[in-house]
Amino acid sequence: MKYSELIKAIEQEDDIAVFRHQHPDCDAMGSQCALTTWIRDSFPNKNVYLMGTETCDQFDFLPIDTISDSRLSRCMGIILDTANTDRIDDQRYQKCRYLIKIDHHPDTEPFGRISYVQTSAAATCEIISEFFMEQEHRKVSLQTASFLYAGLLTDTLCFRTSNTTAHTLAMASYLAVFGVDIPGTNRRLFDQTMQEYRFANELRSRIITDSKVAYAIFELSDLKKWNITASRARNFIDEMGHVKEFQAWALFTARICDNHIVYDGSIRSKKVPINSLAARYNGGGHVNAVGVKGLTIDSLNKFIYELKNLIH
């Protein structure tokens, strides 16, 4: 059994803390909420804590639990969807007795007594689905299945990304059997407000491109004018993903850090790997989908220059 060590650890522990990465997306939150509800349903006598300081309002996720340091020090920690320990939301993970890592990002920083890193999985929710499927005698509630489906759908952009496989679709099918509201989940996750619809026009009109590489930069004044948060704005990166000519595309947003303006970016490519480039600019992620953080305007320009060289 592929997940025998994981289920054995869950069965043994009375106190389990479930973590995921900072600035959580639906894959991080979905896998975290699903694993938490599933353990709570399967083992009502265990204490399972949903850890974190931030949440994500794109879907109806569970509230975060508050837990004292002393209680945390009795827990086993499960870390989901997070490649490196710096990025774990709630650095108190260090108090846990031991850790289990479950992730689909490249294993740049191996950690945990037990580790399931599967880079072939399109989402951490795909791995958790497979784990539940293996534990076939245990119940998967509609809520649990819906959390996982939300993570699968968002990390694969509705099953369109290059890492979507037959196995991803098989896991979606497995989840759908529990009664997931497929059109409703799509609407909940992706419907835009009219203001956002108009913001997409603004993005289109601003793109700077040599036809192969396209990017846009939103300054603080733009974000203010559109009344949109930086992370929400960067989510519009996918608006640029449907142009035949573009081989790579990027969206940068400004923020203030120690009285200076710095830029965070989301970058995508069709085929050329961009993760090692991002790693040199305070970032990382997947082969064709990365983020960079805290760039000055100079390093932002250098990044774009290097991205163009890489693509051409």
> Which residues contact Mn ion (rule: CB under 5 A)?
27, 81, 124, 155
What is the chain's percent helix, strand, coil content, to nearest 5? 45, 20, 35
How far is it, in rounded angstroms, from Cα 109 to Cα 267? Answer: 22
- Torsion sign (Cα): 33, 39, 45, 46: negative
Residue 104 beta carbon to Mn ion: minimum distance, rounded to whole angstroms: 6
Give the residue with the Cβ less far from Mn ion, 13 or 81.
81
Residue 178 phi, psi (nearest 5): -80, 5
Which residue's CB is nearer to Mn ion, number 95 or number 105? 105
Least distance to Mn ion from the beta carbon of 81, Å? 4
Residue number of the CB atom closest to Mn ion? 27
| Cα separation, 90 vs 72, whole angstroms | 11
If the CB atoms of residues 77 and 291 are measured against Mn ion, the closer one turns out to be 291
CB of 159 to Mn ion, least distance (A): 14
How far, in Å, CA of 276 to CA of 10, rounded?
A: 35
At closest approach, how far in Å is the CB of 193 from Mn ion?
Answer: 25
Q: How far is the CB of 290 from Mn ion (least distance, A)?
A: 13
- Rank residues 118 and 209 by Cβ distance to Mn ion and give the closer one: 118
CA R_g for the chain: 20
Give 41 or 107: the residue with its C-beta nearer to Mn ion. 107
- Can you tell me which residue has the tokens 């060590």? 5
SS3 (DSSP) at 3: coil
Strand partners, 78: 18, 100
What is the 8-class DSSP label of residue 244? Answer: S
Helix (H, G, I), strand (E, B), or coil: what is residue 241?
coil
State both tokens at 152.
Answer: 């699968």
**Cβ closest to Mn ion, residue 168 vs residue 247:** 168
Shortest distance, position 112 Cβ to Mn ion, whole Å: 17
